[in-house]
């Protein structure tokens, strides 16, 4: 494994837009003497900024069983071009570890970023957490259930935004009931390692790993932008469910559905010109770029 290897990307034309040089520092361990998957990549603008830059912390998808931090498509380039540092993390996967261990891996990565990102020009107190699919569930959970970051001595106020992309597990009991009801109605082999099994067969675990469970008025919860593929009834329902729970507790949240796409393409198209989900993303992020955007 190549640790701490800087890679420089030169100025190129991307979709007709001039993009600038970028440095990637690969396979940075966030746990000392940890597992080979307990590493992250850091993307920084090649041109040094005068002030610490806000950070996008990204969590890949893959059903908590597959996926890699390299699966970031255009996001590092377009976001470093807009004045962010971009961090993409790996974590140990099911079934090698349980969901609570997996979730704490991601929290440990956030903890490492909070302690060390200033060394790369980032602002440790302005972190936007996001992810796709399984990563969306993890991002949303860490943003609303403060216990995981508290274990890493990370105050919840360092999270200035949360961007879950096309997750279907913000309310796990509901997605389990939905999927199993479909199986009962239409037949087919019942899941052997579906959401019920992944999150642990104890129904209380299904509740506890659901972001909606932990939303409550008065907590330190950042603004949310929930992107979803409107053609998928499950991710649409789950995004609207979390949005409504956040609104009811007095928090800022916007759910935006894109129709002409699919689960994977929605994520991979983020950053493309004329992409409506990208326009929503930039609209959400622009206020967070100010040095005064950190939460008290």
Is 134 within the bounds of a domain?
yes
Confidence at 1, pLDDT banded by 50, 70, 90: very low
Task: Please tell me the predicted confidence (pLDDT) of residue 4.
Answer: 46
Paired residues of 42 in beta bridges: 25, 87
Is 54 within the bounds of a domain?
yes
d(CA 143, CA 231): 26
- pLDDT tens for 194-252 read 999 999 999 999 999 999 999 999 999 999 999 999 999 999 999 999 999 999 999 99
Is 114 within the bounds of a domain?
yes
Domain limit, last residue, from 209, 238, 261: 209
Pairing of the two strands 22-29 and 17-19: unpaired
Higher pLDDT, 201 or 124: 124
Domain count for the chain, please give it: 2
Task: Please tell me the predicted confidence (pLDDT) of residue 295.
Answer: 62
Is 5 within the bounds of a domain?
no
Residues 163 and 140 in one domain: yes
Residues 201 and 260 in one domain: no
Residues 133 and 186 in one domain: no
Which residues have C-beta within 8 Å of that of residue 271, sequence separation ≥ 6?
Answer: 73, 74, 75, 77, 78, 79, 278
Domain limit, last residue, from 191, 209, 227: 209
pLDDT of 18 over the 60 cut: no
pLDDT of 11 over the 80 cut: no
Is 77 within the bounds of a domain?
yes
- pLDDT tens for 24-51 read 999 999 999 999 999 999 999 988 888 9
Which residues have C-beta within 8 Å of that of residue 58, sequence separation ≥ 6?
Answer: 69, 72, 75, 86, 87, 88, 89, 130, 131, 135
Is 19 within the bounds of a domain?
no
* % of the chain at pLDDT higher than 90: 82
Is 6 within the bounds of a domain?
no
Task: Please tell me the predicted confidence (pLDDT) of residue 294.
Answer: 67
N-terminal to C-terminal alpha carbon distance within the chain: 39
Least confident range from 4-8, 32-36, 209-213, 289-293: namely 4-8
Three-state DSSP class for 240? helix
d(CA 104, CA 147): 10
Residues 86 and 131 in one domain: yes
Residues 37 and 121 in one domain: yes
Domain limit, last residue, from 185, 209, 233: 209
The total of other beta-carbon atoms located within 10 Å of residue 229's CB is 24
Residues 95 and 200 in one domain: no
Query: What's the CATH number where 224 sits?
Result: 3.40.50.1820
Q: Is the peptide bond before 252 cis (omega within 30 degrees of 0)?
A: no
Residues 95 and 177 in one domain: no
- Residue 14 DSSP one-character state: E
Mean model confidence pLDDT for the chain: 92
Residues 109 and 186 in one domain: no
Residues 133 and 177 in one domain: no
Is 2 within the bounds of a domain?
no
Residues 181 and 59 in one domain: no
Residues 183 and 222 in one domain: no
Q: Which domain holds residue 180?
A: 172-209
Residues 196 and 269 in one domain: no
């Amino acid at each position: 494994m190549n640790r701490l290897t800087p890679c420089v990307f030169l100025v190129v034309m991307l979709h007709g837009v001039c993009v600038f040089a970028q440095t990637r520092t690969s396979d940075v361990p966030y746990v000392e003497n940890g597992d080979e998957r307990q590493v992250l990549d850091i993307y920084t603008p090649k041109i040094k900024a005068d002030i610490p830059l806000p950070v996008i912390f990204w969590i890949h998808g893959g059903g908590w069983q597959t996926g890699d931090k390299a699966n970031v498509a255009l996001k590092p380039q377009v976001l470093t071009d807009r004045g962010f540092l971009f961090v993409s993390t790996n974590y140990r996967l099911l079934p090698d570890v349980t969901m609570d261990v997996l979730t704490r891996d991601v929290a440990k990565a956030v903890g490492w970023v909070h302690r060390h990102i200033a060394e790369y020009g980032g602002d440790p107190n302005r972190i936007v957490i996001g992810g796709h699919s399984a990563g969306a569930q993890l991002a949303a959970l860490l943003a609303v259930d403060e216990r995981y970051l508290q274990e890493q001595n990370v105050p919840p106020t360092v999270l200035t935004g949360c961007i879950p992309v096309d997750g279907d597990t913000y309310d796990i009991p509901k997605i389990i009931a939905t999927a199993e009801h479909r199986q009962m109605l239409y037949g087919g082999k019942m899941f052997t390692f579906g959401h019920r099994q992944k999150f642990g067969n104890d129904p209380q675990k299904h509740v506890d790993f659901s972001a909606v469970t932990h939303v409550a008025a008065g907590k330190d919860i950042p603004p949310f932008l929930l992107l979803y593929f409107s053609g998928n009834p499950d991710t649409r329902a789950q995004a609207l469910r979390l949005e409504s729970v956040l609104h009811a507790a007095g928090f800022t949240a916007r759910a935006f559905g894109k129709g002409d796409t699919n689960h994977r393409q929605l994520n991979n198209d983020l950053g493309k010109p004329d992409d409506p989900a990208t326009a929503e993303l930039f609209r959400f992020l622009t206020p967070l770029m100010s040095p005064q955007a950190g939460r008290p």
